[in-house]
Amino acid sequence: MQIPEDAVLLRIFLGEKDRFGHRPLYEAIVLKARELHLAGATVLRGPMGFGHSSRLHSAKLERLSEDLPFVVEIVDAAQKIEDFLPVLDAMIVESKSSGLVTWEGVKVLRYGQGT
């Protein structure tokens, strides 16, 4: 699989408690991205963060540690990311999540083993 040098990084900010059906929303997003043959996705777990509610979520605070921040990063060509957005939107709406989604242009320096 080749992706162009100019690509897009899609970032989805979620909470650990966000669910899509019987699985975590971050997991459902990565599995859907894989099913749709996007170039790659990574889930990052944050030790601390806050969102639109300004409520602090931290691994240091025992009572809030069950809802740590998660970030899903997906990289691919702009058109493939654009085609994925309605799917992602439907997943976020169905999960009743209030995740933040960002889009930024990136330069891919290397992908896979090919040159």
pLDDT in tens, the chain (115 residues): 666 689 999 999 998 899 999 999 999 999 999 999 999 999 999 887 776 666 666 666 555 456 789 999 999 999 999 999 999 999 999 999 888 999 999 998 877 775 4
**Per-position b or e across 11-33, b if 16+ CB within 10 A of its CB:** ebbbbbebbbeeebbbebbbebb
Domains and CATH numbers, the chain: 6-102 (3.30.70.120)
32-35: long-range pairs with CB below 8 Å, 24+: 32/87, 32/88, 32/91, 33/74, 33/84
Q: Is 44 left (phi over 0), alpha (psi -120 to 50) or beta?
A: beta
Q: Quote the pTM value.
A: 0.85
